[in-house]
Structure 1
């Protein structure tokens, strides 16, 4: 039987840099989030979708694809059974053109929702709770395979979904504030995914929208997250003065005086910025204060994004980054080992970053064999698909070749990285 290739899916994959294998991995992750069981797709499954041999995947597959791409299955070129394939829909406008204009646009949407005769239903906290469930899914995706463009796009789409609810019906001020907070939270996750993927121009666009939404929500916790992310972004961009200024905005929020966990995170990130700026005294002082604040932390209701990652292991991860930047390699290695011992199982992305940094610390101390063995523990998916990890491993290879040129260790590393690339 003649089949028509799925040009829409092929175009989406090309635009977003997905191979058949990488899209299969993303769909498998989405299936796990939806069902609790890992999907069984591989590159041949995706090729069957592209070729048109599978015109209408089963419901779980369609939901997983929609979660990955942010698009309905029909817009991905799939055709429901019994329906003739229609003329392809023209490509949507650029995502930036579709975004609402900061505060003015948000306020207009809220005003429209409040206008007489426009409300079609009552928006309540159950709608907010549903968005919070989706937010938890975004957080889980980030910790498994952070920095991916599909996570950024999905988070941005969910931010727009939260805003659309503002105009979908009537709501109390409490509900509206929570909707703005949810939209800010999603936009801050899009911002972080872009930072983690080294797409800094996109990250700054998300940051500006997230900041406006956070102001409208009045939510101190999400304001902290956005400004703290901004500090991390500027640190990765090599702008320590801007990083300190942004992180200071987060640290000066009232929530850091009420909750020592927020205070600790702000201080730990400040210490990492001091390390990047070569301020040894500031680094040590801030880390000591961060540990003291963490020790004072007690059980309390906190946002899911904070509870999902911040603990002693994350503090050690930030210390590792700082002392590596300072050239204090023994101290960096100490924090790396302590971080790896304390990382929770879901922190897949963090484990890859920490392992890579540990390899750098070991190599800088002259132990090329141990460093290479450590670097080879990084999973191939992180080594080839996570922008920060890929860059650090490339730098590791260059440093290894400069340290022990023409050695068997270099040959081992070259063969290992070739195997990585072959599976990408």
Structure 2
């Protein structure tokens, strides 16, 4: 069924051009191929494979026909080319590319987001941060980089991950290069800060839509540096963030990671522990745990927040772990869990209660509102769902949040049976326009 389609961008583009059914499209495809003197023909089954995501990159003949039919590159139709840097660049697998070659690109929604995929060897060439690092004494350098990282976190909140990412990568470059020659005490401080920066950079890549292996690279770097400095709490915090990055793709692993964060040989600060417990409850809901067991874990999360000595602090990458985690965020994340547990009415009620307050920054509001719209769509309230989704889309487009846009694509799939209603059609058209832009 179309509401379970993986490649919603292709479906939307097909429908927009008047091919209402898969059969219509297959006939148009064959006619186009014949006009091009191409022997390529397809069946409805092949169209279904494209739309379901079973085929992520058509063969050469099909690519030619599809490009002729739509007039845009296939990436703008939601197809993903095979990921192989060495093969694509025509170089041996063990060759070391220069900076330009190492900045691989992957598009989301037809080129909306271009995400640099860099490792530490390439970072030295990205910004002036590393070149300027030696102007500071050891202790001044740590303070300078700490302040720069906090400002980068604020930049992410204001303008989005795509603008904050170069600064974060530059900070990591400075840490990587200067820590090699630093005295042991300063090296320890630099690597502790680097662990925070690497975890934040993993988040930026995740929000921008980078491939999973890029996000995993930075999570692993954060854990490695946390291990070097003996920071068990930071190691646990990264485990929790890894669980969050999985989304719905692997609920069993999500649950394992969250439980490792809360039950390992370390002690998370109260607010970070509350966040990890909430993530554990979400994993439990997604894997079919009994509601009483889930409620018990959520009670522990609320108790952890109650035990926090200080109120939630301002956004910071360098303060106490999870210092910005609030009761409002716990409750809105619990609403996501309610929706995933098949309780959309309770979820929609909880979203409305939390998202009509001023507790969230615009980007976070867009992300959570996308889930709110999904809960309303689950309830069969298409007009209300579309209205909430359109407002979320306006914000998400400004900051290019792949997380929010991905959740909105899911809402459009759920609303497919209502596609003729004006607001639902407007939502679909705006997403398609955003993809084409």
- TM-score scaled by length of structure 1: 0.64
- Does the aligned pair in 2 maintain the 1:264–1:289 contact within 8 Å? yes
- Write the distance in 1 (CA, Å) between the matches of 2:279 and 2:159: 22
- Write the distance in 1 (CA, Å) between the matches of 2:194 and 2:228: 10
**Distance verdict in 2 for CA 1:367–1:232, change over 3 Å:** same
- Does the aligned pair in 2 maintain the 1:232–1:243 contact within 8 Å? yes
Partner of 1:192: 203
Partner of 2:215: 203
Deviations 1:188-208 (A, max 9, x none): 111112222342110111122
1:368 corresponds, among 377, 382, 387, to 382
- Write the distance in 2 (CA, Å) between the matches of 1:155 and 1:97: 12
Higher RCO structure, 1 or 2 (CA under 8 Å, sep 6+): 2
1:276 corresponds, among 272, 277, 286, to 286
> Displacement of 1:252 after TM fit?
3.1
Partner of 2:427: 413
- Write the distance in 2 (CA, Å) between the matches of 1:350 and 1:307: 16
2:335 corresponds, among 320, 335, 341, to 320
- Write the distance in 1 (CA, Å) between the matches of 2:401 and 2:272: 27
- Does the aligned pair in 2 maintain the 1:151–1:190 contact within 8 Å? no
**Distance verdict in 2 for CA 1:242–1:401, change over 3 Å:** closer
Unmatched tracts of structure 2, length 5 or more: 1-97, 104-116, 123-133
2:102 corresponds, among 91, 94, 97, to 94
- Write the distance in 1 (CA, Å) between the matches of 2:413 and 2:156: 29
> Displacement of 1:350 after TM fit?
1.0
SS at match of 2:415: helix
- Does the aligned pair in 1 maintain the 2:180–2:187 contact within 8 Å? no
1:393 corresponds, among 402, 405, 408, to 408
Kindly report which structure 2 residues correspond to 1:129-278, keeping only aligned pairs within 5 A, or say none.
129-148=143-162, 151-169=164-182, 171=183, 173=185, 175-198=186-209, 199-234=211-246, 236=247, 238-252=249-263, 256=267, 259-278=269-288
- Does the aligned pair in 2 maintain the 1:275–1:283 contact within 8 Å? yes
How many correspondences in the alignment?
309
> Displacement of 1:156 after TM fit?
3.0
**Distance verdict in 2 for CA 1:125–1:272, change over 3 Å:** farther
> Displacement of 1:418 after TM fit?
5.9
**Distance verdict in 2 for CA 1:220–1:304, change over 3 Å:** farther
> Displacement of 1:225 after TM fit?
2.7
- Does the aligned pair in 2 maintain the 1:191–1:206 contact within 8 Å? yes
Partner of 1:6: none
- Does the aligned pair in 2 maintain the 1:152–1:189 contact within 8 Å? no
Deviations 1:177-218 (A, max 9, x none): 211011111111111122223421101111221111111122
- Write the distance in 2 (CA, Å) between the matches of 1:237 and 1:365: 20
- Write the distance in 1 (CA, Å) between the matches of 2:240 and 2:420: 44
**Distance verdict in 2 for CA 1:203–1:421, change over 3 Å:** closer
Deviations 1:242-293 (A, max 9, x none): 2222223322356636x32222111111112223323352432222221122
- Write the distance in 2 (CA, Å) between the matches of 1:299 and 1:411: 47
- Write the distance in 2 (CA, Å) between the matches of 1:334 and 1:245: 29
**Distance verdict in 2 for CA 1:219–1:325, change over 3 Å:** same
SS at match of 2:309: coil
- Write the distance in 1 (CA, Å) between the matches of 2:300 and 2:153: 27
